[in-house]
Structure 1
């Protein structure tokens, strides 16, 4: 396998009265043997949460959990004593480590919150839990959102993984071939692109483990680029 497209319309979906969630990989009641994660990347969920609602207190362990807010706000509280809001244009990282409990609620008054939540498996189990939050630069074609310690990322992961936000212009190209021994996953946030004659649109994922042609952008767009060991 060199290049695999995870089409947005074949994602799993969880719909409740307060939540509409699409799952790039198997999650909850959605099970697809072709979508069991990719290397350390385990979950990409795209969530819409109505005002006044959210995820009540629940537990995590041995997972790095990134929340990228696209619209609205998320109100976070956890068992380490962190309380606060993450707004559109900000990213939050919760390193669950040996164990942490938290809640995530829509903190936007009268507005549906739209976010991406990403789970990445750390290299070591049982590490000390932690929490980080950062604002994204408002311009620039590449923003290193998360990476290993010392990588100058906005937040620090417990694995040899780099998560980059790409901002692109119509007519631009994005190289996606991984370095030898590594893999790349690209999640389209917005825009229309093309690779090897196949169209890519918002919600599509692209899984690559060998040399692949560049992506050509047919419109302005945004994507998450995962560089995975």
Structure 2
């Protein structure tokens, strides 16, 4: 089964300093047909104005992934972490039994454009922790960003999921096998591509795939960067 979530159909919010699109119900945006997918609870695409951001706030029992599309994001948290995240880098914050943090656009002149992703953990109330890694110099078509065991220098998550960054050059093809009883979500980060020779996807589009299958990704005259969630 394939369910397409077009960018044009996502929820939106505009607070002046924040311009957001929601793939799933979040905050004041509610769509009973899109409450999440499997253990994937949130995909928010945020554009934050220069020098603006989210003041200190709390999270609990959620795995929170930040993926930068452009610009830079400054992070501070109650663990004492202070960092800046750039394109090619990925942050994973395991909120555990409670963490407080702030996120601000690190630039006073340019927007920061990012995806914030929430995944429900398979264990609750453990100690929180923070991870960040730079993947931009890895020359692979599928880069493993997040995994339960932290294999291949990926970030370690408290859930049985794997998150990949897929890269398609012009006129390229890729395949990925979703095992039986596993599921996948595809989120287009940049560019456009064709899924299974018939589904045209553009930036911001998402696709839910249930029941194991071999997925075929192809590009024509555009490069494409996408996220692939392999989910229980």
Q: How many residues align?
A: 228
User: In structure 2, how many angstroms separate the alpha carbons of the residues matched to 1:62 and 1:45?
Assistant: 18
Equivalent residue number for residue 146 of structure 2: 146
Shift of 1:176: 4.8
User: In structure 2, how many angstroms separate the alpha carbons of the residues matched to 1:127 and 1:205?
Assistant: 31
Alignment check: 8 A CA contact 1:147 1:153 kept: no
Given the two structures, how large is their TM-score scaled by the length of structure 2? 0.93
Moved more, 76-85 or 146-155: 146-155
Shift of 1:83: 1.2
Alignment check: 8 A CA contact 1:21 1:48 kept: yes
Equivalent residue number for residue 207 of structure 2: 206
Equivalent residue number for residue 215 of structure 1: 217
User: In structure 1, how many angstroms separate the alpha carbons of the residues matched to 2:179 and 2:133?
Assistant: 28
Q: Secondary structure at the match of 1:137?
A: coil
User: In structure 2, how many angstroms separate the alpha carbons of the residues matched to 1:176 and 1:44?
Assistant: 22
User: In structure 1, how many angstroms separate the alpha carbons of the residues matched to 2:63 and 2:79?
Assistant: 15
Equivalent residue number for residue 227 of structure 2: 224
Q: Secondary structure at the match of 2:73?
A: strand
Residues 213/71 of structure 1: CA separation in 2 closer, same or farther (3 Å cut):
closer
Mark the runs of 5 or more structure 1 residues left unpaired by the alignment. Answer: none
Equivalent residue number for residue 24 of structure 1: 23
Alignment check: 8 A CA contact 2:89 2:136 kept: no
Given the two structures, how large is their TM-score scaled by the length of structure 1? 0.94
Q: Secondary structure at the match of 1:190?
A: strand
Shift of 1:174: 3.3
Alignment check: 8 A CA contact 1:49 1:106 kept: yes
Mark the runs of 5 or more structure 2 residues left unpaired by the alignment. Answer: none
Q: What is the CA RMSD across the aligned residues, in angstroms?
A: 1.4
Alignment check: 8 A CA contact 2:3 2:208 kept: yes
Q: Which of structure 1's runs of 4+ aligned residues deviate more than 4 A?
A: none
Residues 198-227 of structure 1: CA distance to partner in whole angstroms, max 9, x if unpaired?
A: 311110001001236523222211000000
1:102 lines up with 2:104 in the alignment: no
Residues 213/105 of structure 1: CA separation in 2 closer, same or farther (3 Å cut):
closer
Alignment check: 8 A CA contact 1:177 1:184 kept: no
